[in-house]
Structure 1
Amino acid sequence: MSGEINSVTRYVSHRIWQVIVFLTLLGGPVTVAPAQTSFFGAPKASYEEAEYEPSEKEPISISAEYSQQWEEDFVSVSILKGNCRIQQGDAILRSRQMVIWHRKTRQTDRLSVYLEGEVRIDLPGESKSENSLLVNLVTENGLKQNLRRPSQITVAPDDPVLNRAIERRGIPHDHQLKRAQFIVEKPPLEGPELSPIPEQEIVTDFRRIRLFPRSAVPYNVQSFPSTHTVPPEQIWVITGGVNLLIDGVEGLEMVDMSADRIIIWTDGRNTQNFNSEIRQSKETPFEIYLEGNIEIRQGTYLLKANRAFYDAREERAVMLDAELKTHLPELGEDVRVRASQIRMLSKGAYLAQNAWATGSQFGKPGYKMQASDVFIEDRYTTPWLGSGSNELDPVTGQPLPGKRAWMTSSNNTFEIGNVPLFYLPYVSSPVEDIYFPITGLRFGNDRIFGFQVETEWDMFKLLGLERPAGTKWEGQLDYYSDRGVGIGQSGNYQGANLLGFDNVFNGNAEAFYIHDSGTDNLGLDRRDLVPSTKDRYFLNHQHRQTSPFGMTLTSEAGIFSDRNFQQQYFLSDFNNRKDVETLLHLKQQQDNWSWSVIGRTKLNDYENTTDWLPKADLFLLGEPLLGNLLSWTSHSSVGYGKLKPGSAPYNPQQDVFTPLPFIADSQGLVAMTRNQLEAPFNLGPFILTPYVMGEAAYWEQGLQQQQID
């Protein structure tokens, strides 16, 4: 038995690809311990010997991920969260969250700072750690703040850390960081005696372990100490089948572990006698070796393994010959994951070796995704296409970084039966999306392109990038035996609040390139056309954005390498889609009026389009006049236009080309106004609308370059 135990490395196991993350719950329970609450009460007596005295001449710098600030009786109060840090001179204070009271005088800035959660104090020559801390700071040289997501509010929020900081404010203190120095404040010599308010007892993070027989047959327990370790350990060997439950993890479900045999190591100083229910600090060593018909359940997850080792305190483990089964709503099916070994290297970091995943429920699956190594980690991302539907921080009101389990795997193959169909050396994607990054595959053959293989790829997965909400990005890799290899991409996006402004937007982008070694065949008398260039491509981007007050912004940009490229390679787009343009159009529409400004230029020299540099329009529709007796409709515009005939084909003898007679080389100012007055009235069952309309227009150059007005 001991030989088998020693052969198992003591790390943490976890699920792979889509589902490995759930084994995080096997780690030691984590609860936030209430801080000692004594506002102005400061560090413990361990600071009596601190000799470093930062000078008031040193400025104070403050940084955090999120902040919320308001005014209270001429005092600025702030709640900081996420990587909080304060530095004055060589003294550095760090914590997960802080509350700061800041009073500014003519010459100084005085801060009272409450720190909570993984508090660390770094001084020259020493470092200290605390659960919570309260200090005073003074500087004559101002504050420097680096707050990534600041938020200004008018009233104090109902925040637990603020409540604890305020509660601590009323408790006497023995020490404080006063005048920017770590000193001990002397008790008062005179005055009425006050009974000190006792500090609240720190509630330590805990875990609860309960053991039950696995069946109707009671389990057997052997308990003995180990004197060869420091500190001494208590060892329990449990056989006959045991069910072990671990809970106490705040916000997470219970972890249910069953095995035929288990061995438990724990601290022998606090736990000597075996008990079917154990409650201990999460810092207490607690290690488990499981063997024989291992089943681990949590929520909808079921994990089976032959052998496993789990260290609850270090949150590391290893499982051998492990298989995981779960239902993934994202895929709408059950998924099985099997690996020869699954490890948890640290909290949030997992490694699986010789692993495969499948949606098949047969013992020998008909298809599977296989990889030699799979690495899982938690990623935090901030939206870059506006806030969209991302969750907001209830305190700051700012977008929260999204947390997702991310899978990176190497030597990936997709197999049907035992036949590998595709291979990729590297794949990176969210764990809920385990499919191969190829999204489309088409084969064909014809006289124009020859033998064809066209593929489409999920670029986010292929490059290991986080997929922003509302986006799609696909890459193209095509092979044409008579033409060459083509590469391209297409994508679309949609969202809200782009760049932090109130708006709704959507757009798409396309690109394609091929070094063409063939000739074009466009039908009838346009066969065997030699392209003007072998490097053929196109780029096209369209974007539309709608903002309050009826504002709409539209932008387009498009270019083709030559006149026949779209018709040859993208015939459906050539027949059905609008021509590509390059323009910027801003429009506002309210009630019965609107205005717009457009700037447009052409990038394709073979096109017959008018450039506007720019042009403005104003519309008014049915404006009532004289108590609704008259109705006024108007359209006025002014702009600078430039019209130039498209260039001739590269080979006009083969590619028939007839210039349009009404396209001339002209440019200049164009202005017009058209107004119409209507006087509608009822005549029996009819509505008659007499009207008068007039128009004035001016062209600086006409078709013959003459002025027209």
Structure 2
Amino acid sequence: MLAAWVAAATPVRAQTPAAVGHSVGLENRDGLFGFSSAPVNVKSDFTSQFKDGNESVLLLRGNCEITHKEKTWTAPLMVLWELPDDGTGQKRILAYMETSSEFSAMESSPGRREQRPFLLVDLETSGLVSLQAIPGRDPIDLPQSADDPAYIRARQRRMESRSNLQQTQYTFESAPMPGGVYLPAPAPRIQQRVTISPKFLGGHLEAKGEISEGSIPPEYVVTLTGGVNIVVDNVPLNVGGQMVLSRVDLTADRAVIWTDANHIDELRGFDIDSNTPFQVYLEGSIVVRQGNNDVRATHAFYDVNQRRGLAMNAELRTLLPDLQGTLRLRAAEVRQMSDTNFHAKDAFFTTSEFGKPKYRIQASDVFLEEKFLGHPDRINPVTGDPEGGTFVATSLNNTIFVDDFPIFVAPYLTGPAENPNIPVRKFNVGYSGMFGTTVETVWDLRPVLGLDLPPNVDLQLQADYLSKRGPGGGLRGLFDVDSELFGQPVHQEGWGQAYYINDHGTDNLGLGRRDLPVYYSDNRGRVIFRDRIDLDQNTWLQAEIGHVFNNDRNFDEQYYEYDWDTQKDLENLLTINHQNDNLTLSALGTIKSDGFNDQTNWLPRGDATLLGKQLFDSPVIWNTHSMVGYGQLKPAEAPPDPTLDPFQALPYFTNSEGLVTMTRHELNAPFDVGPVHVVPYAMGELAYWEEDITGDSLGRAYGTAGIKASVEFAKYMPEVRSTILGLNGLAHKVVFDAEYYYAQSSTSLNNVAQYNQFDDNAQERFRERLVPVELNGNPLPTYMDPRYYAVRSGAGRSVTSPYNELVDDQNTLWLGMRHRWQTKVGPAAAPRIIDWMEFDLGTAIFPQANRDNFGETLGLINSRYAWHVSPRTSFLADGVWDVFSGGQRVWNAGVLHQRTARGSTYLGFRQVEVDTIESQLVTGSFSYVLSPNLYVVTAAAQYDVAEGIDRGETFTITRIGEFFLLHLGFGYDRSRDNVGVALSLEPKFGSYGSSSMQLNSLLGIY
């Protein structure tokens, strides 16, 4: 970077080996640092240069020194700005220095030395600015930018020097001094206690103290031998951006202390303050502890109040709360430049706890510095401390080792310290009847390409090979960042994925669809992007992209089956939302990018919702929801060959489009009659569709009125106790509730097109196959139509229902009761209440049974039962029944036993019966940690009692290593007639607890 500016080289004065340098003149290119007759000499180990606005910036680290006229300033870190010409022809350079020392060669004060926590110096020159580096090697350039935490501090203190304002716990009021030097006012004096004692109880500590008159001011020098422990209390420490008072604990075989000359008679313990010099040299079995930092070394020097130090043959340990583990930094030399700033040479760092780490990154130079990943003014509401502070590690000339084998080389790495930058995130090898021999890998692109990604941004590369299908790969990433939009600060989070596979096989989607051709192209894949932008506390944007290549109807179901069955549908949408108290406004636009799913394009749509608005100081509450939009309803297209992939279009998704509008208003007036809570209500709706299910315009008026009531009873039985049943007193609470409503619609639901989806694509795809596969092409019975099931259950009646189409004439009485039997557990001094047993029962009564419930007065009987026999064992059951012929009878019962983090077991029976469809499944699952932190075994199986066949089994054993999870799995899926074997390597770093989320799915814990 600096090579473009090299003009000449001149010798410099002799230095120690770490600081000896050569001088390079910098040409006035790009406006950086000009020519003069009174040179400014600059020296450092590491440099970086960048632009901040119209100012050129030079960031220096390690043994930094500036000499100008008769003065020399030294510091571990410096920032230099070239200031714009003020018209005098003089070049101005503003220099910021941290923990700086100033030496004067003026005749009036020869040898004078002053030390400050930081310093701003304004230099005027018309001469040469020279940069000095170590002779025999080129200056080392560190890729940096205006986001560097050191530069952010420097820029902040520069701004504070202008306004005399410092927004931290301590106030430094900066004032200009003669010669253009800005000096911080002294920090408030904090009383500190120094205690000196033997290293071991009963040890013999020898001490010798004397005053050194040669220093200005005089120093008190103490030499300690025989094992010493030095403790300094009330030392300021930067923790997450806040200054707190901490203890510094130093232990060594031998030590030398330099402090002021006022403590000659107080060797064992004395008081100083935070501005008193206190420096310590240590030798032999050194341990230095402060806050979360622990340094061990053979030789060390430490300046307590400046929080600077140098340790030889050292190891630094610092706690990383997000990892729930420790970062270890071991090096030939570790230099501490501030509370949160370290530089190590010839080092390795790792999160391994082993003495000889199983994985490590070895580097020539490692910089460890705290950086705020969150918004700078985001405060933890509980602690009041800033959020987002974490250590960032930057390293040069890296080699990544697993055991003693080098697996990766990178010239430059940077990222959060809790991420050890191991490039392989996932490595799977297996065999499947559908895909053949498979090799699946995920790579972290930060170390692979040496990317300097912003904090909380993760970018990964997928590279796969499936022998029966072909090669595949793509990118995926996630982000959670603070950024700007139109010049305004915003918070943004989301994720994305792009995947491609050259597929020369056939799809296997289950029984009846085991050999489907890839209809459109061998080039298959998808793109997903989802983003949320918080503009402020009440306003946010959402953007989504979801597209499958080549209108490939079966790609998601084949390659992303879990996402297809359980996750949100792929959509292309943009929405803006604003919420102010109980008012919510939103605008939405969606575009369909495929032809194989049922979807509505909104071009656009607006919604307004107001809830809980009291009318004119009366007991009446008003709730309302209105929407207006232009909708294009696009039904799913049939597959190219319906004989191979059965399909029948759903009748309520038609080619309809046009204006869609609706407004709903509800009034309710809750009151109490003794212990009974009563809520009468009435709701009305006006809706309009420019095109209905037949293509004609349609208007609808809908109204409903009803009354809700509930009452609670309780009985307390403190005398009921049983150690066997786990009862420590018993309370029975029951709530009886009822609702009657009457609804009328001006048009039948049969005339309304379904612009608002109520099912996911996976459920709609199943319904499109149901008639040709299960009903042999016969028409779908009305009692199996999901829209009429929604009408019977009242799913579309509420003001805020997202599918307002689903209403019709209805006359219904709902009855229900909810029982809870509760007891106390825990210590007698602080017991807590738990539900020991739960039982819910409800049903609907239809006075107009022929119209509303297929001729049966009673319907939709539902129940749920749970008996928590112990904190680890529960009996569970639930079900729903209809009593008319062909109605649903769905229920399941089982027992769940969990051993907290050690594992869980479940055994259950499930019956599904609707019309001619019947299934009776016995399901079992098991997971267990065979030995702590070593092996996890999981297994699951299903057996169909009705058909007398097994439905599938899985078995996995996981080896928990220090830095990886090794999974070996077997599986059989009868529906796909597929047998699979897989071996998976998943990186795991830090303590066992930090990886528990990776194991939760194995252990049945969610």
Deviation at 1:413, TM superposition (A): 1.7
Q: Distance in 2 between matches of 1:690 and 1:314?
A: 69
Following TM superposition, by how much is the alpha carbon of 1:490 offset from its aligned partner in structure 2, in angstroms?
A: 4.4
State the one-letter code of the partner of 1:355: F
Q: 1:697 aligns with which of 672, 688, 713?
A: 688
Q: Which amino acid aligns with 1:118?
A: L
- The one of 79, 86, 89 equivalent to 1:88 is 86
Q: Distance in 2 between matches of 1:344 and 1:625?
A: 69
Structure 1 segment 264-275 matched on structure 2, within 5 A: none
Counterpart CA distance in 2 for 1:222 and 1:678 is: 89
1:217–1:378 CA distance, 2 compared to 1 (3 A) = closer
Cα distance in 1, alignment partners of residues 294 and 582 from structure 2 = 63
Q: Is the 8 Å Cα contact of residues 311 and 317 (structure 1) preserved in structure 2?
A: no
Q: Tell me, yes or no, if the aligned pair for 1:611 and 1:642 is still in contact at 8 Å.
A: yes
- Report the counterpart of residue 706 of structure 2 in structure 1: none
Quote the Cα distance in structure 1 between the aligned partners of 2:615 and 2:416.
62
Matched-pair contact (CA < 8 Å) for 1:375–1:408: yes
Query: What's the CA shift string for 1:563-601, capped at 9, x where partnerless?
Result: 221111110111122321122234556788755432211
2:346 to 343, 353, 359: 353
Aligned length: 545
Superposition deviation, residue 542 in structure 1 = 3.3
Asked if 1:670 is matched to 2:659, the reply is yes
2:507 equivalent among 520, 523, 537: 520
Q: Compared with structure 1, are the counterparts of its residues 265 and 624 closer, same or farther at alpha carbon in structure 2 (3 Å cutoff)?
A: closer
What letter matches 2:659 in structure 1? V
Measured against aligned partners, the alpha-carbon deviations of 1:447-504 in whole angstroms (never above 9, x if no partner) come to 11223344455666776656746x7766544443333233332436488998897988
d(CA) in 1 for partners of 2:518, 2:210:
88
| Local SS of the residue matching 1:540 | strand
Q: In 2, Cα distance between the equivalents of 1:200 and 1:605? A: 68
How far residue 118 of structure 1 moved from its aligned partner, in angstroms, is 2.9
Query: Is 2:360 aligned against 1:369?
Result: yes
Q: What is the distance in 2 between the residues matched to 1:219 and 1:620?
A: 78
1:480 matched to 2:480: no
Q: For the Cα contact (< 8 Å) 1:64–1:147, is it kept in 2? A: no
Structure 1 vs Structure 2 CA RMSD: 6.7
How much identity, in percent, do the aligned residues show? 25
SS in 2 for 1:89: coil
- The residue type paired with residue 522 of structure 1 is L
Distance 1:481 1:356, change over 3 A: farther
Partner of 1:529: 517
Residues 93, 161 of structure 1: alpha-carbon distance in 2 compared, 3 angstrom cutoff: farther
Instruction: Kindly indicate whether the alpha-carbon contact (under 8 Å) linking 2:173 and 2:185 is maintained by their aligned counterparts in 1.
Output: no
User: Residues 283 and 424 (structure 1 numbering): CA distance in 2 closer, same or farther, change over 3 Å?
Assistant: farther
Shift of 1:210: 11
2:118 maps to 1:121: no
Counterpart mapping for 1:496-575 below 5 A:
507-523=494-510, 524-530=512-518, 532-544=520-532, 553-561=541-549, 562-575=552-565
Instruction: Kindly indicate whether the alpha-carbon contact (under 8 Å) linking 1:521 and 1:529 is maintained by their aligned counterparts in 2.
Output: no
Q: Which residue number corresponds to residue 236 of structure 2?
A: 251
Equivalence map 1:398-547=2 (5 Å): 404-408=391-395, 410-415=398-403, 420=405, 423=408, 425=410, 427-434=413-420, 436=422, 438-456=424-442, 465=452, 468=455, 476-482=462-468, 483-491=470-478, 493=480, 507-523=494-510, 524-530=512-518, 532-544=520-532
In structure 2, the residue matched to 1:36 is: none
CA distance in 2, matches of 1:686, 1:250: 61
Q: CA deviation at 1:543?
A: 4.1
Partners in 2 of 1:582 and 1:224 — Cα distance? 76
Specify the alignment match of 2:312 in structure 1: 319
2:628 alignment partner in structure 1: 638
SS at match of 1:88: coil
SS of alignment partner, residue 527 of structure 1: coil
Q: 1:373 to 1:653 in 2, by over 3 A?
A: farther
Question: 1:495-543 deviations in whole A, cap 9, x for unaligned?
Answer: 8998897988764434433333433222323414225233332222334
- Unaligned stretches of 5+ residues in structure 2: 1-15, 20-37, 39-52, 58-78, 98-116, 130-154, 238-245, 700-1006
Give the C-alpha shift of residue 446 in structure 1: 0.6
Q: Which has the higher contact order (CA 8 A, sep 6+)?
A: 1
State how far apart, in whole Å, the 1-side matches of 2:280 and 2:18 are. Answer: 9
Q: Distance in 2 between matches of 1:618 and 1:422?
A: 57
Q: Corresponding residue for 2:596?
A: 606
**SS of aligned partner of 1:521:** coil
CA contact 2:361–2:420 (8 Å) conserved in 1:
no
Letter of the 1:342 partner, please give it: E
Q: Call closer, same or farther: CA 1:368–1:643 in 2, change over 3 Å.
A: closer
Closer/same/farther in 2, CA of residues 636 and 124 from structure 1, 3 Å limit: closer
Render the CA deviation track for 1:59-113: whole Å, top value 9, x for unaligned: xx99999xxxxxxxxxxxxxxxx9896863245374669xxxxxxxxxxxxxxxx
Which TM-score applies when normalising by structure 2? 0.41
Distance in 2 separating the partners of 1:576 and 1:200 = 60
Gaps of 5+ in 1: 1-7, 12-48, 50-60, 66-81, 98-115, 129-145, 178-198, 227-233
The answer to whether the 8 A contact 1:484-1:517 is kept is no
Counterpart amino acid of residue 121 in structure 1: D
Q: In 2 relative to 1, CA 640–257 (structure 1 residues): closer, same or farther, beyond 3 Å?
A: closer
- 8 Å contact kept, 1:478–1:487: no
Cα shift readout 1:156-194 (whole Å, capped 9, x = no counterpart): 9999878675xx9xxxx9x899xxxxxxxxxxxxxxxxx
Q: Matched residues in 2 for 1:458 and 1:575: separation?
A: 28
* 8 Å contact from structure 2 (residues 205, 225) kept in 1: yes
Quickly say closer, same or farther: Cα 1:381–1:127, change in 2 above 3 A.
Answer: farther
SS for the counterpart of 1:574 is helix
What is the CA–CA distance in structure 1 between the aligned matches of 2:222 and 2:677, rounded to whole Å?
101
Of 645-654 and 551-560, the range deviating more from structure 2: 645-654
1:102-160 Cα deviation digits (max 9, x unpaired): xxxxxxxxxxxxxx9634333344799xxxxxxxxxxxxxxxxx999999xx9999998
Q: Secondary structure at the match of 1:251?
A: strand
SS in 1 for 2:556: helix
Aligned counterpart, 1:584:
574
CA shift, 1:706, in A, is: 5.4
CA distance in 2, matches of 1:461, 1:590: 44
Corresponding residue for residue 22 of structure 1:
none
1:381 positional shift: 5.5
1: CA distance between counterparts of 2:594 and 2:251? 70
Classify 1:245/1:86 alpha carbon distance in 2 versus 1 (closer, same or farther; 3 Å).
farther
CA contact (8 A) 2:225 2:254 kept: yes
**Cα separation, partners in 2 of 1:480 and 1:422, compared to 1, 3 Å:** farther
